[in-house]
Chain A
Amino acid sequence: NAGVTQTPKFQVLKTGQSMTLQCAQDMNHEYMSWYRQDPGMGLRLIHYSVGAGITDQGEVPNGYNVSRSTTEDFPLRLLSAAPSQTSVYFCASTQGLAGVNEQFFGPGTRLTVL
């Protein structure tokens, strides 16, 4: 199993550009999430999905869109990049079993917005 994969690993954008960060998992997990990691702030939840066709906002959703057309894929779209979106982005997935379960993380995407 590849686990959770993310592309690209690095990206540089200019202010106002749009792009999509890709995320895929091959573990048949129901739950998928996007986080951003900023120095001194840990990981903050952007959007999450509890299954195909179902998404919802997390703690810091502004400026981002998501969709979940299949169980495997959960892309994150930046609509109009801003310097404040410079960060490391992590996608994660977890099983929808009882309780709160281990999150499996992708390798992250380092995004710089100039």
Chain B
Amino acid sequence: AQTVTQSQPEMSVQEAETVTLSCTYDTSESDYYLFWYKQPPSRQMILVIRQEAYKQQNATENRFSVNFQKAAKSFSLKISDSQLGDAAMYFCAYGENNNDMRFGAGTRLTVKP
């Protein structure tokens, strides 16, 4: 079964600075999708960004961007100009179909004012 590894249980960043969260995954497939979800203290899971594996271009959403390295099976999330509202758990997820998403253990991000 595919596994998703987030090697940083906790990270912290100063407000307005940049932080990168790491994610690696294990697969033998060439066609798949990768996601980053944010879970603030409210517990609500929110999609941050989505990447299609066959697309070379890294996905971006405003201050959030990814560094997708397909050969290395790496999918890191960069948050620029960090804001207090970015404080949350961040989950990396892998999916080949809509039936079976695999999530990493999560990284807790703290933003210091």
Residues of A within 8 A of B (CB): 31, 33, 35, 40-45, 48, 50, 56, 58-59, 88, 90, 92, 94-96, 99-103, 105, 107-108
Query: Residue of B at shortest CB range from A31?
Result: B98
Q: Is the CB of A45 within 8 A of B105?
A: no
Q: How far is the CB of B100 from chain A (nearest CB, A)?
A: 6
CA distance A101 to B45 in the complex (A): 14
Q: Which residue from A40, A88, A103, A107 sits with its C-beta under 8 Å from B101?
A: A103
Set B6, B33, B104, B105: member contacting A99, Cβ < 8 A: B33
Chain B contact residue count (CB 8 A cutoff): 27
Interface of B is mostly: loop
- Contact yes or no, B4 A108, CB < 8 A: no
Instruction: Check if B56 is an interface residue, CB within 8 A of chain A.
Output: no
Contact among A40, A44, A48, A107 for B44, CB-based, below 8 A: A107
Docked CA distance A44–B106 (Å): 12
Minimum CB–CB distance from A37 to chain B (whole Å) comes to: 9
Contacts A/B (CB < 8 Å), 27 sampled? A42-B4, A42-B6, A42-B103, A42-B105, A43-B91, A44-B103, A45-B100, A48-B99, A56-B99, A58-B100, A59-B100, A88-B43, A94-B98, A95-B98, A96-B98, A99-B33, A99-B52, A100-B33, A100-B96, A100-B98, A101-B98, A102-B35, A102-B47, A103-B45, A105-B44, A107-B43, A108-B44
